[in-house]
Chains A and B, each alone.
Chain A
Amino acid sequence: MASLNEHDILALLEEVKDPEIPVLSLIDLGVIRKVEVNDQKVKVEMTPTFVGCPAMDYMKNDVIDVLKKQGIEAEVEISFKTPWSSDLISEKGKAALKKFGLAPPPDSKIFTDLEILESAICPRCERDNTELKNPFGPTLCRAIYYCHDCKEAFEQFKPV
């Protein structure tokens, strides 16, 4: 334990996935903001994707459990010091989302200029002949689109 550093903890946490998107690790999702190792104590700072995200407690317990399995006692703090943005999702995370069938979020900065996000890139055909059907979806972080080429609905991880 004494020899563990921040990088070791982050490597272990790669195992913890988003409970609603099991291909995406919490690290790639960007919700793990900081890891501190001091003496025998590990402190993990996490931030929710959405303030009302009901999966937050679940993720927090997963982090504690995964480290406990390695004999590491960790303390998890939920904080808004670095508020989450979809821009914090890693490139690896975005590729995983696409493979899972969810359109990855575009750069959130476009959202400050556009009131309506009319189209997204369809994760199946990769074209943008699509239409926003609902800025809300099955979870707080997803919007629903329709692809006119595939003639099927798809979900996008919202830029925020």
Chain B
Amino acid sequence: MNTEALKELLYKMADDQLILGHRNSEWTGFGPILEEDIAFSSMAQDKIGHSLALYTFLEELGEQDPDTVAFTRHASQFHNCTLVELPNGEYDFSLIRHFLYDTAEALRFESLRQSSFEPLAQVATKIRGELRYHTMHANTWVKQLGSATTESIHRLQKSLDYALPYALGIFEPSPLEHDIIKDGIFVGEEALKSQWMKKVEEVISQTKLRLPAWDTLTAMNGGRVGKHTEYLQPLLDEMSEVFKIDPTAEW
């Protein structure tokens, strides 16, 4: 097994979870209704937990410990897709991002149950079950608000149009994609993207929202190779603020 390819896959998945987990946590205390405050806070906790499990695998493969990896890297060293680092905006954008991202993530972990890297296959079985609640939450609200009032439909449509190119950046292929697939670590981003498009179409078709033709969209790539938007570094600065006061503190 190509360990470098495996590590790269683990890094991008872990970084996605950490950064989106942090964004979700920014809804704590600010949700439009109490139930959504609880939902985004719970998903934050799940995602940060998932990132910890993946960073722990990386540590076992010789990388630094999870705290060091999470809190001391510069934005250019992060492999997350840019979709997850965008600011929360209003609830409509956070919901659409959550829907587009978690649809992909649920399919990714479903597929990783077959991974040739046994620890990943084991944890994928677990995470897949947890993600059902994330997709259920996203689908319920997208279907409801995507068919409700003129304003709710307009808002979701605007956020969907804005988020889609970034969402396609989830599937930016790795330079080691060939090895990832050949070694049976993962089916690869292209295969995941086709499954994702089908699932997104299926949910959106149950609303009054419109999906543009896929071939008219250009993926916002770069995140997987450390090219981020202006929004990631300030997020990292805030996330690591307490850690950096005393990196050796025991918690």
Chain A residues with CB under 8 Å of chain B are 50-54, 80-81, 83-85, 108, 111, 115-117, 133-138, 140, 143-144, 158, 160
Residue among A85, A108, A136, A140 having the largest count of chain B Cβ atoms under 10 Å: A136
- The answer to the question of B70 belonging to the interface, with a C-beta cut-off of 8 Å to chain A, is no
Contact flag A111-B132 (CB < 8 Å), given A51-B126, A83-B122: yes
Question: What 3 pairs across the A-B complex have the smallest Cβ distances?
Answer: A52-B49, A136-B42, A83-B126
- B39 and A52: CB pair below 8 A? no
Known: A51-B49, A136-B43. A83 touches B123 (CB 8 A): yes
Q: Is the CB of B136 within 8 A of A116?
A: yes
Docked complex Cα distance between A6 and B130 (Å): 31
Smallest CB separation, B26 vs chain A (Å): 16
| A interface secondary structure, majority | loop
What's the count of A-B pairs with C-beta under 8 Å?
A: 74
B50 interface contact, C-beta 8 A: yes
Q: A83-B129, A115-B136 are in contact. List 16 more A-B contacts (CB 8 A).
A: A51-B46, A51-B123, A52-B45, A54-B45, A80-B53, A83-B122, A111-B129, A115-B139, A116-B140, A117-B136, A133-B35, A135-B39, A136-B39, A136-B41, A136-B43, A137-B38
Instruction: List 26 A-B residue pairs with CB atoms under 8 Å apart, sorted by A's residue number.
Output: A50-B46, A50-B49, A51-B50, A51-B52, A52-B46, A52-B47, A52-B49, A80-B119, A80-B122, A80-B125, A83-B122, A83-B129, A84-B126, A108-B129, A117-B136, A133-B35, A134-B38, A134-B39, A136-B43, A136-B133, A137-B38, A137-B42, A138-B38, A140-B49, A158-B133, A160-B132
